[in-house]
Amino acid sequence: MGGGARSGLELHRSRFVEWQPAAVVAIAVAPGGSTVALARESGDLEIYDTADWRCVARVPGKEGAAISCLTWVAPFIGDWVDADNAAAADDVPCRLLSAGLDGVVTEWDLSALRARSTTDSHGGAVWAMAAEPRPTDGEPQRVAIACDDGCIRLLTLLGGDGVGSGLSHRRSFLRLQGRLLSLAWGVGGTQIAVGTSVGTIHIMQVATLSEVMRITVGSGDKPKESDERCTWALTYLPDGTLVSGGQDGDVTFWDKRFGTQLYTFRQHGADVTCLASNPAGTCVFASGIDSQVCVFNRIEDGAGPGLEKWTFGSTKRPHTHDVRALAMAHAPGGGGDRDGKGERGKDGDGGRGGGG
């Protein structure tokens, strides 16, 4: 081969980790808007700082724990808590709660990245959960859960580490027909609206645990027992208007006093699974199975001074799969409203939107 030097063959070995995305199924914004929590289909929890949208904490999920909803709640320090426990409970202003289709409600310790306390729903799968907007002075903030057995249950969270701390059941409402799929507190915390799987929305009085109004969604005809007409999302606006999103793809605005239909928009081609509004209640965002994110705006009605109406604003399709969660997150110092969106899909993206 002659006396020349042999040229070596360089070998470059590359290895790739198989990407296993997990869909975003729930989003909750902490009071003040500085922190956003999201849950993935795998059961993982992630905490983001809205100043730079950086993930600051992650809690790995466990197999079989399918999280369906999240909320933030302020722990209550009662007279039974001594000084040492009270100081420990004040370390975290708000606690993150999760609930899932396994029927377990969990309080999370985000400093230790583990569950702090748990309780069973006593009603099967929990489809929706929401914290009381403004708790009564001297009383713990109540958390309402919508259960698979058709019952709304109220929970409270007591701070500290002593006996009686953690999550506990407070009261239960009378059982309603169908599964309870969505839930929203009224502005003053005196009423709760709940959407079912049988084509009805119930307005419940919290003080008496009784129903004060029943709304039939859809075309008005009652669905057969074998059929379902699901109301997947509910939200209250500051003026008391109730907004619903359901399996027909409708976004409907309901009168606060009589429960009559004010406006219905059919911009979506499939189920509307989530709703969100800006703090002023002048914009409502809706999304769902068709991956559209639609915005509806409250504008002045030219029919007369002081009159307003709701109109369809625009739509975008920033995601490739169906959207399971929407939330409004105001970044501190950001100078405006920002909306965080969670996407359900195989690519597992969790995006955040622009100005609301």
More confident residue, 336 or 142: 142
pLDDT number for residue 140: 87
| Strand ranges of the sheet holding 24-29, from the earlier edge strand across to the other edge | 24-29, 35-40, 45-49, 54-59
161 DSSP 8-state letter: S
Top-ranked range on mean pLDDT: pick from 279-288, 299-308, 316-325: 279-288
User: Does residue 222 register a pLDDT over 70?
Assistant: no
**Of 309, 291, 292, 287, the residue nearest 300 (C-alpha):** 309
User: Does residue 237 register a pLDDT over 80?
Assistant: yes
pLDDT band at 121 (very low <50, low <70, confident <90, very high): very high
User: Does residue 350 register a pLDDT over 50?
Assistant: no
pLDDT number for residue 340: 41
CATH level 3 topology of 22-79+92-132+142-175: Methylamine Dehydrogenase; Chain H (2.130.10)
Residue with structure tokens 């079989």? 64
User: Does residue 354 register a pLDDT over 60?
Assistant: no
User: Does residue 344 register a pLDDT over 50?
Assistant: no
- Are 22-79+92-132+142-175 and 187-333 equal in CATH topology? yes
User: Does residue 202 register a pLDDT over 70?
Assistant: yes
Tell me if 74 sits within 8 A of 141, measured CB to CB. yes
pLDDT band at 332 (very low <50, low <70, confident <90, very high): low
CATH number belonging to domain 187-333: 2.130.10.10
pTM, full prediction? 0.82
More confident residue, 180 or 187: 180
User: Domain coordinates of the chain in residue numbers?
Assistant: 22-79+92-132+142-175, 187-333
